[in-house]
């Protein structure tokens, strides 16, 4: 369960997130919003890269605010980034093992866990391939594998489907939908791609200029007139940001 209460983030005079209060309960929750809505900023608050001026975030009752960023992984927080972070000179196995090293597992368990995660995302054939030799899609999947290591309680995916073809997206959908059953983690999916969100998420929240625009079952949210207006680019909304 993700609880965000009274969260405000401020960069100078800009408030990318403004007094946001949300509770997300579904196994797979989505977050959509136009550019500059504060999606990635929200993720960075969870990761600890951005310190909010007010408010807090908590996962399964565990308060995250105030915990050092690198210790949040120990609490079961995992995330991917918009650009994949696969080291070119390590093999896929080593890339994922690098995360397992810090998950507090014994070396045997770590290797098993890494192999299982790689198999789960469908890359077992690429176990010993160097990072630089992986395709864009494989890199995105490898990122997800990295996020499944250990016992995650929350897996946050930041635009995992960027630059994928139709068939690749379908595979990605299956992978994402299976994560809660694979490791019991809640999934928090951020994407521009409404189709991926619609296919994966039970509930979806919509952010617009740091404000909650809508929250509810995905199909209802996507039908919402306000949401469609924001997505089609309502310039009159600019006033809210300032």
Partner 1 sequence: MYKKDKPDVVPGTPIQRVIPIWVTLGVIGLLGPLLFSSYWLNTMTSVACLSLAASTVALLYGQFGMVSLAQFALSGVGGWFCLRLIHGWGMPFEAALVLGGLIAALFGLAVGLPAMRMRGLYLALLTLMVAAAFQVVVNVIGFPDGGTGWAGKVINGQRALIERPWLATTDASYFRYTLVWLAAGMGWIEWLRCTKSGRSWALIRKSEAAAIAGGVSVLRYKAWAFAVGGFLAGLAGGLIAGLNGQLDNTGFPVSQSILLFALVVVGGAYNWVGSLFAGLLIRALPALLNDHGVDGNLSNVFFGFALLVSLIQGRKGLAGQLADFYKYVRTSRIVEGSVTWGAIAIVLGLIFEALGWGSFAGTFFIALIAILFRMVIPGVCWLLLGFFGKRFQDGVEDGEAWLSLRLARGMQAMGWVPDHRLLKRTLNWLFIGCFVGWIAWGVFDVPFEIALAIIWLAMALKVGFEILAYPYVLPLRKRLDERFPKPLASYR
**Total site size for partner 1, rule CB under 8 A:** 44
The sign of the dihedral angle between the CA atoms of 152, 146, 70, 204 is negative
Helix (H, G, I), strand (E, B) or coil at 100: helix
* Per CB under 8 A, 57 contacts partner 1: no
* Per CB under 8 A, 188 contacts partner 1: no
Instruction: Using CB under 8 A, pick the residue from 60, 119, 125, 223 that binds partner 1.
Output: 125
x/- map, 147-176, partner 1, by CB under 8 A: --------------------xx--x-----
Q: State the angle between helix axes of 107-120 and 92-100 in degrees (0 to 180), rounded to the nearest 10.
A: 130
What would the two tokens of residue 49 be? 């890269």
Q: Which of 231, 230, 229, 206 is nearest to 216 (CA)?
A: 206
CB of 238: closest distance to partner 1 in angstroms? 29
Q: Give the integer Cα–Cα distance in Å for 62 and 57.
A: 9
* Residue 94 backbone dihedrals phi, psi, to 5 degrees: -65, -35
Instruction: Using CB under 8 A, pick the residue from 35, 128, 166, 235 that binds partner 1.
Output: 128
- Write out the residues near partner 1 by the rule CB under 8 A: 47-49, 69-74, 77-79, 81, 85-91, 93-95, 97-99, 101-103, 125-130, 133-135, 137-138, 146, 167-168, 171
């Amino acid at each position: 369960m993700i609880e965000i209460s009274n969260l405000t983030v401020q960069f100078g005079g800009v408030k990318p997130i403004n007094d946001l209060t949300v509770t997300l309960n579904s196994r797979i929750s989505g977050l959509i919003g136009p550019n500059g809505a504060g999606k990635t900023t929200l993720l960075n608050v969870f990761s600890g890269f951005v310190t909010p001026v007010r408010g807090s975030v908590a996962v399964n009752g565990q308060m995250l605010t105030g915990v050092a960023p690198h210790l949040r992984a120990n609490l079961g927080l995992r995330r991917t980034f918009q650009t994949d972070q696969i080291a070119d000179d390590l093999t896929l196995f080593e890339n994922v093992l690098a995360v397992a090293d810090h998950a507090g597992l014994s070396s045997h368990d770590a290797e098993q866990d890494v192999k299982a995660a790689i198999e789960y995302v469908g890359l077992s054939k690429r176990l010993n391939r160097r990072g630089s030799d992986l395709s864009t899609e494989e890199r995105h999947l490898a990122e997800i594998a990295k996020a499944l290591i250990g016992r995650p309680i929350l897996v946050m995916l930041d635009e995992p489907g960027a630059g994928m073809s139709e068939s690749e997206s379908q595979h990605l959908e299956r992978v994402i939908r299976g994560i809660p059953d694979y490791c019991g983690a809640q999934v928090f999916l951020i994407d521009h791609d409404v189709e991926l969100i619609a296919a994966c998420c039970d509930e979806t929240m919509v952010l617009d200029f740091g404000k909650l625009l809508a929250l509810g079952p995905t199909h209802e949210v996507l039908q919402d007139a306000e949401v469609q207006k924001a997505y089609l680019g309502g310039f009159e909304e600019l006033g809210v940001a300032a």
